[in-house]
Structure 1
Amino acid sequence: MLKLYYYPGNANLAPHMLLEEMGVPYELVLVDRTKDAHHSADYLKLNPNGRIPVLVDGGLVLFETAAICLHLADSYPEAGFAPAVGTKERAHFYKWLVYLTNTLQAELITYFYPERWAEDDDAIAQVKAHAEAHVGGMLDLLDRTLAENGGPYLRGAKMSAVDPYLFMLSRWTRMMENPARNRKHLGAFLRMMAERPAVRRTLEQEGLGEPLF
């Protein structure tokens, strides 16, 4: 059985939702960050970076959220969460997954951990403010994309593995001055996703309450 190592609301949320959507049997394994469990010797054997999540699939140990989502989509093609390899649709799927993980998520990490890029309090505050502004522009682009492709999902009418990822990252903005939910099309996407039974089950299993996004 698959094992997903998680901590509530962390980057495991996207593959967790995907597993629920697919109906694939799996086991959740809590990595308690409050007890520094992600830096324990046992966990570092799974992910030497000390980051969450990790997926264990038989003899395969996989970290990096986007890689886990791709592996799940490819391992269970009958679930239909990724277009066929070699198609233009697959190329666009790659584009958005990479954009979410390499552009939006990377900027969100800057927002949440500005002290990694500055030392004094004023500089840290500037880094955080600039990161929030950059995130806002990225959310605007995603909002326009949902409008232009007619939605309701990021790639149009059909849900794919990029949509749980977008929900997860949008949720991380919930305490910002202008969170993702404030945008017309992105807000509608988030409300729709939150009503999906698989997403509701995931949020409940991770003990995540209001504000959901």
Structure 2
Amino acid sequence: MLALYYAPGLASFLPHAMLREAGADFELRFIDRDNDAHKGEAYRKLNPNGLIPVLVDGENVVFETAAIALHIADKFPVSGLAPALGSAERSQFYKWMVHLTNTVQPEYRVWFYPHQHVVDEAAIPSVKEAAGQRLNRMFDLISEQLGDKTWLLGDRFSAADLFLFMLIRWSRNMPRPARTLPNLGRFAERVFARPAVQETLKAEGITAPFF
């Protein structure tokens, strides 16, 4: 039995939605961040960093969101969440997964937790604003790359689209939400309409605004 340790709306959304897309048999295990459950000894035995999510697959414990996502894609190949190994599409899939996890996602940590990135609290507003500006530029570039394609890989839906949807969703309360870029807004609507995404939002108790 697979077990996903999650908290609503956090990075665990990606593997959660992937498991539902794959029709997997899995168990959700809620981590109460408000009571610092992610900092407790039991959770740190799974992820010493104390970050969410963690996926337990039998004796195999995996943390880091992108690593979990790749594990799920490989474990359920018939789900089509990733192109075939060795294909050109697979390379493009890796490109997007690495870009989203390595370039875009870290900027959100600066935006949401700017106090962790300064030694002088007076610098917090400036650090936060700069992160917001960088995220705007990143989404501008993603918008250009997406163009008028249906999905990041063209006509083929993949886990990278779920990843991008999650990141677009995180911007919903920023001064310039990513959805205001027309093609990213339409893209988010397409991902949002997927039954597995609807089920994930419902299971996590996430309500409007969704993105």
Q: Fold match, TM over 0.5?
A: yes
User: Residue deviations 1:135-192, cap 9 Å, x none?
Assistant: 0011111111121xx3211111110111111111111111111111101110001111
Alignment partners' CA distance in 2, 1:101 and 1:145: 17
| Equivalence for 1:201 | 199
User: Is 1:99–2:99 an aligned residue pair?
Assistant: yes
The ranges of structure 1 where at least 4 consecutive aligned residues each deviate by more than 6 angstroms after the TM superposition are none
Structure 2 length-normalised TM: 0.97
String of CA shifts for 1:41-76, please: whole Å, max 9, x gaps: 110000000000000001100000100010010111
Distance in structure 1 (CA, Å) of the matches to 2:29 and 2:149? 34
2:56 is aligned to 56
Task: Specify every segment of 5 or more residues in structure 1 that has no aligned partner in the other structure, as ranges.
Answer: none
Other-structure match for 2:9? 9
CA distance in 1, matches of 2:8, 2:56: 18
1:211 aligned partner: 209
- Which residue number in structure 2 is paired with residue 181 of structure 1? 179
Please give the alpha-carbon distance, in whole angstroms, between the structure 1 residues aligned to 2:19 and 2:138: 27
Structure-1 separation of matches of 2:149 and 2:69: 21
Give the length in aligned residue pairs.
211
Per the TM alignment, residue 107 of structure 1 is displaced from its structure 2 partner at its CA by: 0.9
Partner of 1:151: 149
| 3-state SS of 1:5 partner | strand
User: What is the CA–CA distance in structure 1 between the aligned matches of 2:46 and 2:68, rounded to whole Å?
Assistant: 14
Distance 2:58 2:107 in 1: 33
**Match for residue 161 of structure 1?**
159
CA distance in 1, matches of 2:120, 2:208: 33
Q: What does residue 142 of structure 1 align with?
A: 142
Deviations 1:89-137 (A, max 9, x none): 1111111000000000011111111112213343110000000000001
Aligned to 1:190: 188
Percent of paired sites with the same residue: 50
Distance across 1 between alignment mates of 2:176 and 2:48: 35
Q: Superposed, which structure 2 residues align to 1:61-100 within 5 Å?
A: 61-100=61-100
Q: What is the root-mean-square deviation of aligned Cα atoms in Å?
A: 0.9
- 2:45 aligned with 1:45: yes
SS at match of 2:27: strand
> Which residue does 2:118 correspond to in 1?
118
Q: Distance in 1 between matches of 2:152 and 2:124?
A: 33
2:81 is paired with a residue whose SS is coil
For the residues of structure 1 that align with 2:64 and 2:121, how far apart are their CA atoms?
31
Point out where structure 2 has 5 or more consecutive residues left out of the alignment.
none
